[in-house]
């Protein structure tokens, strides 16, 4: 269970519904580890500045995370967290491992502009 202030995705249905019903979605899938926590925190800060983007997190070890792990974009990922950006239901960017606030903002500006 992730201890963050973000809304958690806990099932495949929740994730499907989220990306089907929202134009811009960012999901950080990880554990409570040193590379993941900074990204959750950055999401938490940015969700105030980008109200049109749905920021969520997801526990890497729950069955529903298979939906993220199985994405073609993640097949070469060997580092947590997996961060996925969806636009209109499609993956537009995926990153592996820690990202700084600057990097996350730059991705958001690029893929959600």
- Give 81's DSSP letter: P
The residue (of 14 and 103) whose beta carbon lies closer to other proteins is 103
The residue (of 40 and 86) whose beta carbon lies closer to other proteins is 40
CB of 106 to other proteins, least distance (A): 11
Phi and psi, residue 66, nearest 5°:
-60, -30
Asked if 53 contacts 25 with a C-beta cutoff of 8 angstroms, the reply is: yes
Which residues 6+ apart lie within 8 Å of 31 measured at CB? Answer: 2, 59, 60, 61, 80, 81
Residues 29-58 close enough to bind other proteins by CB under 8 A: 30-38, 41-42, 44-46, 49
Per-residue string for binding with other proteins, 73-102, x by CB under 8 A?
A: ---xxxxx--------------xxxx-xxx
Check residue 71 for interaction with other proteins (CB under 8 A): no
Asked if 63 contacts 51 with a C-beta cutoff of 8 angstroms, the reply is: no
Per the structure block, which two tokens stand in for 9?
């995705």
CB of 13 to other proteins, least distance (A): 27
CB of 33 to other proteins, least distance (A): 4
Determine the Cα–Cα distance for residues 48 and 32; give it in Å rounded to an integer: 22
* Residues binding other proteins (CB under 8 A): 3, 30-38, 41-42, 44-46, 49, 76-80, 95-98, 100-102, 105
């Amino acid at each position: 269970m992730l201890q963050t202030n973000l809304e958690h995705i806990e099932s495949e249905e929740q994730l499907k519904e989220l990306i089907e019903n929202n134009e811009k979605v960012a999901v950080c899938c990880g554990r409570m580890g040193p590379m993941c926590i900074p990204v959750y925190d950055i999401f938490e800060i940015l969700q105030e500045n980008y109200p049109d983007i749905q920021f969520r997190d997801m526990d890497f070890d729950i069955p529903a995370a298979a939906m993220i792990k199985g994405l073609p974009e993640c097949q070469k990922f060997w580092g947590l967290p997996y961060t996925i950006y969806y636009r209109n239901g499609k993956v537009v960017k995926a990153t592996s491992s820690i990202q700084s606030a600057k990097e996350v903002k730059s991705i958001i500006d690029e893929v959600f502009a």
